[in-house]
């Protein structure tokens, strides 16, 4: 589903915008194997991925060959992990703040969703090696770009952030900031468009994707800083065998330069 250019005050959140950083009760599943042999599929080893597919270019919804599909460079990495294991990848699209609970309960095998390796997360789940690093960004309405050009200028204003994210933690450290925490980045964009928040802190590539595709938004010169700026894959605590397999795939992909290729391709796809 191409949702770009359709974000407005009266829009209806459909398909990808109802999932992901999405609808609490909806699990939108996809599989890499489209074989008609259902008996073979049932017997095949599966690897279930939990993600929040409203985070372009990491993971997002796109219409591919007429079908709503979850794509992004995190998804490409997940496919490689599954392939190296000889498994069928199954994708569950969930709210970001529910991912670690789903992981701990065993309802998903791994989580890939712009996940930062915070100390709290490290205590709760097993974390892979860092596979990608990116800067944070401040997104505002275009007219306010110069008004909020420094981190000091964000003091006391209304900030929209994603629930359970590292950006929410950054915002909590800004003096006097009034937070609106929401499950989906698209909801935060609507808050910006409707003047209900003044700015939003987003992950850099995500901010760029929205600014390029949603009229009236801009990235300011303010530079949020965070120590945990890398991204990892989460597994259930104690699942050391899966973690070992994931790290082996990540090592291979980084050595082959594949992750940079996936980032570039997913960024281009998000802009179409």
Specify the pLDDT at position 138. 98
Give per-residue pLDDT as tens, 23-68.
Answer: 334 344 444 444 444 433 434 599 999 999 988 889 999 999 999 9
pLDDT at residue 38, rounded to an integer: 42
Nearby residues of 234 by Cβ (< 8 Å), 6 or more positions away: 99, 100, 103, 110, 111, 112, 115, 121, 125, 126, 127, 128
Look at residue 184 in the predicted model and tell me its pLDDT.
83
Q: Tokens at residue 171, please?
A: 């915002």
Lowest mean pLDDT among 14-18, 37-41, 90-94: 14-18
Which residue, chain included where needed, has tokens 């990116």? 134
Options 3.40.190.10, 3.10.105.10, 3.40.250.10, 1.10.240.10; CATH for 15-132+230-271 is: 3.40.190.10
What percentage of the chain carries pLDDT values higher than 70?
82
Query: What is the pLDDT at residue 234?
Result: 97
Looking at the chain, the domain(s) classified CATH 3.40.190.10 span 15-132+230-271, 135-219
Q: What is the pLDDT of residue 82?
A: 98
State residue 210's pLDDT score. Answer: 87
Q: Which residues contact 69 (CB under 8 A, 6 or more apart)?
A: 30, 61, 62, 63
Fold of 135-219: D-Maltodextrin-Binding Protein; domain 2 (3.40.190)
What pTM was estimated for this model as a whole?
0.62
Structure tokens, 149: 């050009």
Residues 194-220 have a mean pLDDT of 92
Helices 240-256 and 258-271, interaxial angle, to 10°? 80
Q: What is the rounded average pLDDT for all residues in the chain?
A: 84
Q: How far from the centroid of its chain's Cα atoms is residue 168's Cα?
A: 14
Per-residue confidence (pLDDT) for residue 43, from 0 to 100: 42
Least confident of 8-17, 43-52, 140-149: 8-17
Residue 8 has pLDDT above 70, yes or no: no
């Amino acid at each position: 589903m191409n949702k770009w250019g359709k974000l407005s005050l009266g829009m209806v959140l459909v398909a990808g915008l109802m999932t992901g950083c999405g609808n609490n009760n909806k699990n939108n599943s996809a599989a890499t194997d489209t074989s008609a042999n259902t008996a073979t599929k049932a017997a095949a080893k599966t690897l279930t991925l939990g993600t929040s597919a409203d985070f372009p270019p990491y993971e997002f919804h796109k219409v591919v060959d007429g079908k709503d599909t979850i794509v992004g460079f995190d998804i490409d990495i997940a496919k490689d992990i599954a392939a190296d294991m000889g498994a069928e990848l199954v994708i569950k699209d969930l709210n970001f703040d529910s991912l670690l609970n789903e992981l701990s309960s065993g309802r998903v095998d791994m989580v890939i969703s712009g996940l930062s390796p915070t100390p709290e997360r490290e205590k709760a789940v097993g974390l892979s090696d860092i596979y990608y690093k990116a800067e944070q960004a401040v997104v505002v309405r275009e007219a306010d770009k110069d008004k909020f050009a420094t981190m000091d200028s964000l003091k006391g204003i209304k900030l929209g952030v994603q629930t359970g994210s590292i950006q929410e933690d950054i915002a909590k450290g800004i003096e006097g900031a009034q937070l609106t925490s929401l499950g989906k980045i698209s909801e935060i964009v609507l808050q910006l468009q409707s003047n209900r928040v003044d700015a939003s802190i987003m992950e850099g590539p995500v901010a760029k994707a929205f600014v390029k595709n949603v009229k009236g938004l801009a990235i300011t010169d303010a530079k949020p800083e965070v120590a945990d700026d890398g991204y990892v894959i989460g597994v259930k605590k104690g699942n050391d065998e899966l973690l070992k397999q994931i790290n082996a795939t990540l090592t291979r992909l980084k050595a082959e330069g594949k992750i940079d290729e996936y980032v570039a391709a997913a960024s281009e796809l998000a802009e179409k």
